[in-house]
Amino acid sequence: MTRLLTLLAAALVLVLAASAAAHPANISTRGAEAKPTIVLVHGAWADSSSWSKVVRRLQAHGYTVDVPPNPLRGLASDSAYVASFVNAISGPVVLVGHSYGGAVITNAATTTPNVKALAYVNAFAPDQGESILQLVTAQPGSALAANPADVFDVVPFAGGADLYIKPSLFPQAFANDLPAKKAAVLAATQRPLAANAASDASGAPAWKTLPSWYFVGAADRVLPPAEQRFMAARMHAHTVEADASHLSMISQPEQVTKLILDAARSS
């Protein structure tokens, strides 16, 4: 019996050795080929589908991409939800935020040790104590800085109110480089932002400890380009700029994808 076990063990060693010789790449390069998961966080008055063109391109480059729904209920709770989602992912993560989603990732990534880089796309990158309302009005040029009655349709609910962008304003403010029919669809399918989220104060920012990338939309009529440049410079982000509206991931998906790939390959 002992001799039989010895022979079986020897045969198993030979089989494993032959398998390793036949498939060396599977054993020797698996670690080198590991790529981070890319998590995309949408902004207010949008949903996960706003990232569709970017998702297709990132997947074509072999990346796993997740696009969780941003609840849009309040900065602290939205950030906690995204952090919980990210902490359930095994392996490194690049966390990307568009618009209000930038404020969310700024707060979420302080409790997600697997996040290795941040990428902001026409996004709010608040410092501690700042709100998106404060940042959107810090520089002239935002369509949201007008009389609230001319900007928002308000839908009250128990304990608060939802804000919708007026459909007549949405195309010129958010989608000024998209076809009119596409802009009209986006206006009709927008998800509301809870009114309190606009004035919620941000916590300690993750961009102070993580490498960051920033895509500036030079034709943005929601978050003024001057404010985008200020925030990008403040966090020493790797910055690119293009002649894009606030919805640059829809109108300029190739350039937005390239920025995210740069962050992923550097993480």
The per-residue pLDDT for range 246-256, each reduced to its tens digit, is 999 999 999 99
91: left (phi over 0), alpha (psi -120 to 50) or beta: left
**First-to-last CA distance in the chain?**
54
Ordered domains of the chain (ranges, CATH)? 37-266 (3.40.50.1820)
The per-residue pLDDT for range 128-170, each reduced to its tens digit, is 999 999 999 999 999 999 999 999 999 999 999 999 999 999 9
Over residues 221-231, mean pLDDT: 98
- pLDDT at residue number 34: 84
Over residues 94-111, mean pLDDT: 98
- pLDDT at residue number 8: 40
Q: DSSP label at 194? A: E
25, pLDDT greater than 60: no
Percent of the chain with pLDDT over 90: 87
- pLDDT at residue number 33: 56
Task: Give CA–CA dist 152/154, Å, rounded.
Answer: 6
20, pLDDT greater than 60: no
Percent helix, strand, coil in the chain, to 5, is 45, 15, 35
The per-residue pLDDT for range 183-224, each reduced to its tens digit, is 999 999 999 999 999 999 999 999 999 999 999 999 999 999
Q: Is 106 in contact with 235 (CB distance < 8 Å)?
A: no
**Alpha-carbon distances of 244 from 44, 100, 101, 188, 236, rounded to whole Å:** 18, 17, 18, 21, 22
The per-residue pLDDT for range 60-99, each reduced to its tens digit, is 999 999 999 999 999 999 999 999 999 999 999 999 999 9
- The pTM of the full predicted model, rounded to 2 decimals, is 0.87
Residue written as tokens 């001319």? 150
pLDDT band, residue 267 (cuts 50/70/90): confident
- pLDDT at residue number 210: 98
**Alpha-carbon distances of 52 from 1, 30, 189, 193, rounded to whole Å:** 62, 29, 15, 21
Computed over its alpha carbons, how large is the radius of gyration of the chain?
Answer: 23
- Measured N-to-C along each axis, helices 75-87 and 100-108 cross at an angle, to the nearest 10 degrees, of 60
Q: Which of 229, 252, 233, 227 is nearest to 242 (CA)?
A: 252
